[in-house]
Amino acid sequence: MQWTDKIQVYNEDCMETMARYDDNYFDLAIVDPEFGIGIGNSPRLVTDKGLEAKSWDDKPISPHYFDELFRVSKNQIIWGGNYYSLGPTKHCIIWDKKQPEKLSFGMFDFAWTSFDGANKIFRYSVLNERNKIHPTQKPVALYNWVLDRYAKPDFKIIDTHLGSGSHAISCHHYGCELVAAELDTDYYNDSFKRFKLNTAQQKLF
């Protein structure tokens, strides 16, 4: 479905989405695949926040996913890269959630990248993220920070697991072309509503 002239999101398996594109079609992949640790059913992240329990994270993603991802994109930023056998990286990104150590949640998220250079850290409190529609929702501010450093406004970007839609909101304001997939219909519909609400609010100001 075409959300805007530059944002196109499919409600389907991302393998179907990637199969439609030629080698190196995308300048950059920014993705957040499932880890296979049952986050979708976690009482800490789902029940306590009033979200519906789901099974999307009950098993790890197929290794063929990465074959396709590396085929269609020139560079990659893969959140949760520490959960996969991706080989060494010369440059990683850390999102410091500024979360108290006494909590059982992870204090940071790790992204594997295909880039070179000094590692980078983005510090932004997870407590700033309100009205969550997804248990692993990342803030728009994080994607803004990533795009500022790793993308250009004319880039073609792919996101294989759109989730809450934060990435789509950021790409819209940055001016990138985004192709994304979200298999879960509930998340797809909720992220579209969130996208439309956020972009409408921006127009008002």
CATH of the domain at 52: 3.40.50.150
- pLDDT at residue number 104: 60
Global confidence as pTM: 0.92
Residue 174 within a domain: yes
Residue 127 within a domain: yes
Residue 11 within a domain: yes
- State which residues form the domain around 12: 7-204
115, 150 in Cβ contact below 8 A?
Answer: yes
2: DSSP letter: B
Number of domains in the chain: 1
The tens digit of pLDDT for each residue in 77-127 reads: 999 999 999 999 999 999 999 988 776 678 999 999 999 999 999 999 988
**Residues in the chain, overall count:** 205
Give pLDDT < 70 ranges for the chain: 44-49, 57, 103-104, 201-205
112, 78 in Cβ contact below 8 A?
Answer: yes
User: Comparing C-alpha atoms, which of 153, 152, 154, 136 is closest to residue 191?
Assistant: 136
Cα 59 to Cα 13, 43, 63, 81: the distances in Å are: 15, 17, 12, 16
Residue 2 within a domain: no
Give kind and range of the element (H or E) at residue 158.
Answer: strand 156-159
Burial 108-147 (b: 16+ CB within 10 A, else e): ebbbbbbbeeeebebebebeebeeebbbbbbbbbbbbbbb
Residue 1 within a domain: no
